[in-house]
């Protein structure tokens, strides 16, 4: 079956190119997909433009769009097992993690189904009884939705659901290395009754497919999730046509543990924070910041448990963590381990590939712990996006906050303490888009997600996640116009 979807039809790439999608667990080919280029991207933009400007889609009521989103949520749950399996094959994450992603995405479609109907705009008091003034919310237009490889279905759905709820049309561009669940999502969107041209799918590399979408004068909005450098280039490429840009970028997220924290929970979550999905999570708690008096005991226990994490095939029920996504990505992680060693961090665990023959074909890397780190080290400041934990110490609340904010990123952070006033103080002081108190990792459809500083621009999820895809229009009606004679005095 062809895997580009343009104007309601599945089609091959215009130049006939294809790409093999590889399982990171054993490098086997899962599927061969079509690989688009600029011509395909432009065809998809044209279809989305026509569907926005000239089709019946613009006449759909909010209720009808809401029903469409509910139906998509139903179909996601109907095919939950198949989708989770595909995501695991494509990314290497465990089946349990993939199932959590499908459930999250279902909840996000349900949430925006409700939001679509509950936002009729608002009346504004103009201070004049003869005036009817109101603000209405309209779709932005044609949206380019560009997603990364670490959460392929989830990150794309966080864009598709609000974009559809608001009445936009769109072109989807998943990561070229993990397109399988986005293809499946588009099949479900089609089955649910999304009109032709409203959702289009172009597979292929960032350049030329992504860059064509970003630079096109026919595209009104780009929503991008991915790395800082790509985000920078997208922001600057979009300036030529002054389109809206939303960026969800990386993080370097502190996990601050005070000595009065519940030891068992803090240890357990410190491991989850960084080794879940082999550290390939934007909000991974790679920076453990631990109080001096607890440091020795905490780190000793962490190392013991990190060394016991069972790596393996994401499809096997006893696997606790899968491989990294590709050979290139593992090479990047290995470079950061080398950098950490050269910078003087103490390597306490990992720092190499596993030796088990069963894992030799996969892109595995052992959970790695660096102790005695300082904020000015590159391994502490730069996003390694792998299973690398760095440990820093603090001896006062102020120092914990200073270290937690000593990053150019600002995506997420956590604080562990049994003192609620201290927790609240630290949560307020941290300059990150999400702060967890005595927890690490959860996100909710109804709560905004996004970054301060270089972690991005804009928000996904929540009310703000819908507003990204809306234009506010003020309609001011004078019900009793009279000549003003401004120029005839």
Ligand X SMILES: C[N+](C)(C)CC=O
In this chain, which stretch among 49-57, 176-184, 277-285, 461-469 interacts with ligand X, using CB under 6 A? 277-285
Q: How far is CA 454 from the centre of its chain?
A: 15
Choice between 234 and 345, CB closer to ligand NAD: 234
Residue 409 CB, nearest approach to ligand X (Å): 13
Least distance from ligand NAD to the Cβ atom of residue 28, Å: 21
- Stretch 147-166 residues interacting with ligand NAD (CB under 6 A): 147-151, 155
Residue 183 near residue 3, CB atoms below 8 Å: yes
For residue 194, give the DSSP letter.
P
18 phi/psi in degrees, rounded to 5: -135, 170
With beta carbons less than 8 A apart as the criterion, state whether 148 and 177 touch: no
Pick from 279, 290, 51: nearest CA to 163: 51
Q: Cβ closer to ligand NAD: 204 or 351?
A: 204
- With contacts defined by CB under 6 A, name the span among 9-17, 148-156, 198-206, 391-399 that binds ligand X: 148-156
Per-residue binder mask for ligand X (CB under 6 A), 426-445, x = binder: -----------------x--
DSSP codes joined into one string, 266-333:
HHHHHHHHHHGGGG--TT---EEEEEHHHHHHHHHHHHHHHTT--B--TTSTT-SB---S-HHHHHHH
Tell me how far, at minimum, the Cβ of 222 lies from ligand NAD, in Å: 8
Please pick, from the candidates 205, 339, 354, 405, the single residue that binds ligand NAD as defined by CB under 6 A.
205
154 binds, options ligand X, ligand NAD, none, Cβ within 5 to 8 A by partner type: ligand X
User: What is the C-alpha to C-alpha distance for residues 155 and 485, in angstroms, rounded to an integer?
Assistant: 56
* Catalytic residue chosen out of the listed positions 87, 176, 248, 392: 248
Quick one: what does residue 165 bind among ligand X, ligand NAD, none, with the CB cut-off 5 to 8 Å set by partner type?
A: none
Residue 282 lies near ligand X (rule: CB under 6 A): yes
Whichever of 75 and 145 has its CB closer to ligand NAD, that residue is 145
DSSP secondary structure letters along 463-488: HHHHHTTEEEEEEEEESS-----TT-
Regarding 223 and contact with ligand NAD (CB under 6 A), the answer is no
Residues between 342 and 381 that touch ligand NAD (CB under 6 A): none
Cα–Cα distance, 174 to 207 (Å, whole number) = 13
H-helix or E-strand spanning residue 90: helix 80-91
Q: Specify which residues 478 forms β-bridges with.
A: 131
C-beta separation of 51 from 111 below 8 A: no
Partner interacting with residue 368 (select from ligand NAD, ligand X, none; CB below 5-8 Å by kind): none
Active site (catalytic) residues: 248
Residues engaged in binding ligand NAD (CB under 6 A): 146-151, 155, 173, 175-176, 205-207, 210-211, 214, 225-227, 230, 233-234, 248-251, 282, 383, 385, 411, 451, 456
């Amino acid at each position: 079956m062809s895997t580009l979807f343009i104007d309601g039809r599945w089609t091959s790439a215009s130049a006939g190119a294809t790409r093999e999608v590889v399982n990171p667990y054993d490098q086997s080919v899962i599927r061969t997909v079509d690989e688009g280029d600029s011509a395909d991207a432009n065809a998809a933009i044209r279809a989305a433009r026509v569907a926005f400007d000239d089709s019946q889609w613009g006449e759909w009521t909010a209720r009808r769009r809401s029903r469409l989103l509910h139906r998509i949520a139903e179909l996601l749950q109907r095919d939950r097992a198949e989708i989770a399996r595909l995501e695991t094959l494509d990314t290497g994450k465990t089946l349990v993690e993939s199932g959590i992603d499908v459930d999250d995405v279902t909840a996000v479609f349900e949430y925006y189904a409700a939001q679509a109907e509950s936002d009729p705009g608002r009346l504004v008091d103009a201070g004049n009884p003869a005036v009817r003034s109101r603000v209405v919310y309209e779709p932005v237009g044609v949206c380019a939705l560009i997603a990364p490889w670490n959460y392929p279905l989830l990150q794309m759905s966080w864009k598709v659901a609000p974009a559809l709820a608001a009445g936009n049309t769109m072109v989807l561009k998943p990561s070229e290395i993990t397109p399988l669940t986005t293809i499946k999502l588009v099949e479900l969107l089609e089955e649910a009754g999304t009109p032709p041209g409203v959702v289009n799918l172009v597979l292929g590399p960032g350049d030329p497919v992504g860059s064509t979408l970003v630079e096109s004068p026919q595209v009104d909005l780009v929503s991008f999730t991915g790395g800082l450098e790509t985000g920078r280039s997208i922001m600057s490429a979009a300036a030529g046509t002054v389109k809206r840009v939303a960026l969800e970028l990386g993080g370097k997220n502190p996990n601050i543990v005070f000595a009065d924290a519940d030891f068992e929970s803090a240890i357990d979550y410190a491991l989850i924070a960084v080794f879940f999905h082999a550290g390939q999570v934007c909000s991974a708690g790679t920076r453990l910041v631990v109080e001096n008096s607890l440091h020795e005991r905490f780190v000793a226990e962490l190392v013991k448990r990190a060394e016991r994490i069972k790596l393996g095939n994401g499809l096997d029920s006893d696997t606790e963590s899968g491989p990294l996504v590709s050979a290139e990505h593992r090479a990047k992680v290995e470079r950061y381990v080398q950098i950490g060693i050269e910078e003087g961090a103490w390597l306490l665990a990992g720092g190499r590939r596993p030796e088990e023959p069963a894992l030799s074909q996969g892109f595995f890397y052992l959970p790695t712990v660096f102790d005695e780190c300082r904020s000015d080290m590159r391994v502490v400041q730069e996003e390694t996006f792998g299973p690398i934990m760095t440990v820093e110490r603090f001896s006062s609340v102020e120092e914990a906050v200073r270290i937690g904010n000593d990053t150019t990123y600002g995506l997420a952070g956590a604080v562990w303490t049994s003192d609620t006033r201290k927790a609240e103080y630290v949560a307020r002081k941290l300059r990150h888009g999400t702060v967890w108190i005595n927890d690490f990792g959860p996100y909710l459809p109804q709560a905004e997600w996004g970054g301060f500083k270089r972690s991005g621009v804009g928000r996904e999820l929540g009310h703000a996640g819908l507003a990204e895809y809306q234009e506010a229009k003020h309609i001011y009606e004078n019900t009793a116009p009279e000549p003003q004679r401004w120029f005839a005095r």
